[in-house]
Chains A and B, each alone.
Chain A
């Protein structure tokens, strides 16, 4: 069991009519890993998650979850999964605690065990004080925490989180990340989708970048940055940039490994920021501002999936 991947996919495809949402992906997720799907909207992340959650049947390919066949053994697999969907589907007419107890019963837990788990998890997600209250008046962050508590009610081997912090304010996001980090420390295997780079860097040991239904890159956040970006990025702004962007980009050519002109600034991907600054000065360029920063996953993401807006 220890060496067996929790998720194993080969040539996984999902088509809806003529539209191919997932176009032949291979995956392996090991026990205890925190694994992320990164990608723009429509990249196929949620479709993949739904297949892993055994609520959507793969069009073709092999998919094994917890050593079982995703198509044949759906109920047995779902019994050991925890799912936090993108859209909240809590019962608004039940109390906070009833939501957990009711859900625990779906997994066949005894009444006493369901109540015990509910109280323990409300404590964990810091909602114990709201236990007897309705779900409706809870804030977005509280509802999401309750959904995560609900996903944990059967003590799952694998937790699936589809965009867990989308739409939450920064405080709520940080609290949620901290709770998820604790789950990770307890050895719970987490699989999440996100389009927040900071979330992926915070939570994921390993991630894949998806675009157009395919996996375009795979690795740890660090290794992805090393492979697809440079250690540092210099952001250079010039006075009156918008009219003369291309000319400025040309002037910076050769300063670093790659130059990426944006409407308001030019990004120069470099190994050493200070050396690049010296070079810019040596060339006699007069930028209005220069910022040296470390490369982030966002740079990798934008490099791999492009800057075109996807709706």
Chain B
């Protein structure tokens, strides 16, 4: 009786082991597939930016000529390509990014402080609204901004007779609107980690609110502010949809310029430009994350 019991248990155990092993296998495969989907397109892009053949059908050999092409006014077969226009678009990107980041970082940090420290009616609602630009579709925001600028400029035209045309100012304002949210979220996370007693301690030791902010609060949230700024700058550099809808003549940023190239044909040079953009963004986000991580470990 006892022996039979053992036998049954053993076969049941064997079955369980098989199920467990299958489960483990499945669990192991899951991230493999997930990462494949995530990275395969990007890897292909990077790979073909070094492909000697113009066709994406096969990889025939390693080359850097597409990278040198984009610096030497050559593009595709027999078509002239203006490196100068590309560099100009890149300068535009940096300019828009820098200005939008500066404004968004200042405003986003102030909002984060108000949300973390302030007590005022409607705070919960405002807090929720702050996340809205992060979750609403980019195209919705782009169109709404385009319409908003048009309406405002029409009114201004009606009142003053002066016509304002979209340009850097509209792109920058648009970038500020979505970047504020990201900065505020990052800075707020930093503030949430900060012991509010530190500000009381400063107060207690004779520091007025202004001194308390600059000597205690700001140095402690600075890593968060820098991380938020880097994130904002990256988002600004990468943005296409909103920029496309709010830019004017001669203010194309790099992503808009690349889109312009794509309208004609996909060439290996586009792969090369995209690879460079991706590396730049990854670097900036990496620094941003490192700043946030360092801040968290120090708190």
Q: Is B truly associated with A?
A: no
Could you list which residues of chain B lie within 8 angstroms of chain A, going by C-beta atoms? Answer: none
Could you list which residues of chain A lie within 8 angstroms of chain B, going by C-beta atoms? Answer: none
